[in-house]
Amino acid sequence: MKLAPWPHFDEEQIEAAAAVLRSGKVNAWTGGEVTAFEAEYAAWCGTSHAIALANGSLALSAALLAVGVGRGDEVITTSRTFVATASAPVLLGARPVFADVDPDSQVITAAAIEPLITPLTRAILVVHLAGWPADMPAICALARRHNLAVIEDCAQAHGAQLLVEGQWRSVGSFGDVAAWSFCQDKILTTGGEGGMVTTNNAALWQRIWSFKDHGKDPGLALAPTDPRRKDFRWLHTGFGSNFRLTEMQAAIGRIQLKRLADWQQLRDRNAHLLIEAIGTHPAVRVPTPPSEIRHAWYKFYAFIKTSALTKGWSRQRILEELADLGVPAYSGSCSEVYLEESFQQAGLAPLQPLSVARQLGQSSLMLLVHPTITLEQMQQMAALVRQVLDQAVAQRV
C-alpha cells in the first residue's frame, strides 16, 4: 500500500510563501507574518506571549537560558525522547538527570521526578511524547514546592490538552516556558524547520526575545518613538544571537494553525481506527488516554508482548513483515537516550538502566496517523497490521 505523504504543502501554502518572496519582505523586521504568527499562536495556546524561532532545538536552549540554567545545574528530564531535549542542558553546562517514564503515557511523572531533586536541581524539562500530555498540574505543584522552573517540550504535542477544573487547557501553557518544534514531519510544520516558545511570564518573554535578536531590548526595538532612542540606535542591552524565523515560514505556519483543529480530528480518527483493529489483540498492549486528556496523536504507539509471540517472531520480524506489505512501521522514539555515545562518554548516563524506558524501547511499535492519510488507506493499514499480528501469534491463539 502507499500512504499519502506528510508534510503536504498545498497551493495555498505555496502561494503564501511565494507572495512573501515576491514582496522582498522576507525578514521578520521587514514583514508582518512573523509578528502575526506569534500573536495567533499565543492566542491559540492560551498564553500571553509567543516568540517564533528558527527551530525547536533553539527553542529549548532559549527556554533553559531564560530560566537561568547554567554551569553546574541539574535539569531533570525524561529518558525517552529525541536527543535534542537531553542535549539542551548540556550545551549550557548543566547536567541532565534522567527520570524513568510511565509505561502507558511514556512521559515522566511527579512521582518519578521527586526522588531525583537535589540542591543542584534548577529545572524540570517535561516532554509530551508523541502527543500524550504529562500531568502538568502535579508536576508544576511539585516544582513550586521546591522552587524549580518548569519547561515543557511540546515538539510532538500541538493540540494536546488537559482538563483542569472543568476547562480544557493546552500544553505549553502550564510551565514557566514551553518549546515547540515545527520541523519536517511535526503536527505543524513550517517548511522544514521552525520553532516557537510560549510563556505567561513577561520577564522570560523579554529575555528570550532579546536573546533571539542579538541582545536587543524589546522595549526599545519595538517602540521606535521611545524617547530613549530619539537621537541614536543603541538598542542592545544584552548579548544574544540570531534565532529568528523567516517570513515565508511564518506565512505557512499561520495557514496551518488555522487548519490544526480539523487536522486533529483526522489524527484522532486514524488513531481510533488502529485502536479498534488491534486494541485488544493478544500480541500487543495499546494504552489509551483517560477522558481528561486530549491526545495530539503525533504518532500511534503499541507495545509488543514478546511472550505472546510464536517461535520465530519478534518485534523486528513484525516490522519487516509490515514493511513488505507497504505499511510504514517503526520502533519509535529514542529510548534510553542516555545510551547515545555522547552521554556515555560525558559520564551523564544513570548508574543503572531505567527499567520502564528500557522495556518500552524494546517493545514499542510506532505507526503513522497523519491527517493526509485517507479513511480508505487507514482502514487498509489497520487491517494489514492486524493481519501481521495474527500471524505472529497464530500457533498460540
pLDDT single digits (tens) 135-145: 999 999 999 99
> Is the domain of 229 the same as that of 304?
no
Flag the least confident range among 137-151, 257-271, 324-338. Answer: 324-338
Q: How much is the average pLDDT of 231-239?
A: 78
Q: Is 219 found in the same domain as 273? A: no
Beta carbons of 310 and 346 less than 8 angstroms apart: no
> Can you give the C-alpha Rg of the chain in angstroms?
22
The torsion region of residue 163 among left (phi > 0), alpha (psi -120 to 50) and beta comes to beta
Mean predicted confidence (pLDDT) in 213-237: 78
The CATH number of whichever domain residue 19 belongs to comes to 3.40.640.10
Asked if the model's pLDDT at residue 397 lies above 60, the reply is: no
pLDDT of residue 396: 60
What are 160's three cell numbers?
494536546
Instruction: Pick the range with the lowest mean pLDDT from 74-78, 231-235, 302-306.
Output: 231-235
Any residues with CB less than 8 A from the CB of 225 and at least 6 apart, and which?
Answer: none
Is the per-residue pLDDT at 42 higher than 90?
yes
Domain count, the chain: 2
Predicted confidence (pLDDT) per residue in 62-99, tens digit: 999 999 999 999 999 999 999 999 999 999 999 999 99
Whether 17 and 134 map to the same domain: the answer is yes
For 362-372, the pLDDT digits (tens) are 999 999 999 99
Provide the β-strand partners of residue 163.
Answer: 168
* The pairing of beta strand 161-164 with beta strand 195-199: unpaired
Any domain includes 397:
no
- Pairing state between β 95-99 and 74-78: parallel
Asked whether residue 55 is domain-assigned, the answer is yes
Q: Does residue 275 share a domain with residue 221?
A: no
CA distance linking residue 256 with residue 166, whole number of Å: 28
| Cα(25)–Cα(27) distance, integer angstroms | 6
CA 221, CA 21: separation in Å to the nearest integer?
A: 24
- Is residue 4 assigned to a domain? no
CA-to-CA separations, 159 to 132, 246, 270, 295, in angstroms, rounded = 10, 23, 15, 8
Q: What is the pLDDT of residue 362?
A: 97
Q: pLDDT band for position 175 (50/70/90)?
A: very high
Question: Do 245 and 283 belong to one domain?
Answer: no
- With H, G, I as helix, E, B as strand and everything else as coil, classify residue 253: helix
Cell of 92: 549550557
Predicted confidence band of residue 232 (pLDDT cuts 50, 70, 90): low
pLDDT digits (tens, 9 = 90+) for 327-364: 999 999 888 999 999 999 999 999 999 999 999 999 99
Q: Is the pLDDT of residue 220 over 90?
A: no
Same domain, 189 and 274: no
CATH number for the domain harbouring residue 302: 3.90.1150.10
- Per the structure, the complete domain to which residue 56 belongs is given by 11-258
pLDDT at 235: 85
Do 140 and 212 belong together in one domain?
A: yes
Asked if residues 45 and 173 have their Cβ atoms less than 8 Å apart, the reply is yes
174 DSSP assignment: S
Cα separation, 78 vs 127, in Å, equals 7
Q: Do both 112 and 244 map to the same domain?
A: yes
In a domain, 1, yes or no: no
**Residue 395: how many other CB atoms lie within 10 Å:** 11
Is residue 139 within 8 Å of residue 91, measured between CB atoms? no
Task: Mark whether 180 and 326 lie in a shared domain.
Answer: no
10 Å CB burial of residue 144 (0-12, 13-18, 19+) is exposed
Residues 202 and 284 in one domain: no
> Which residue bears the cell 487507514?
378
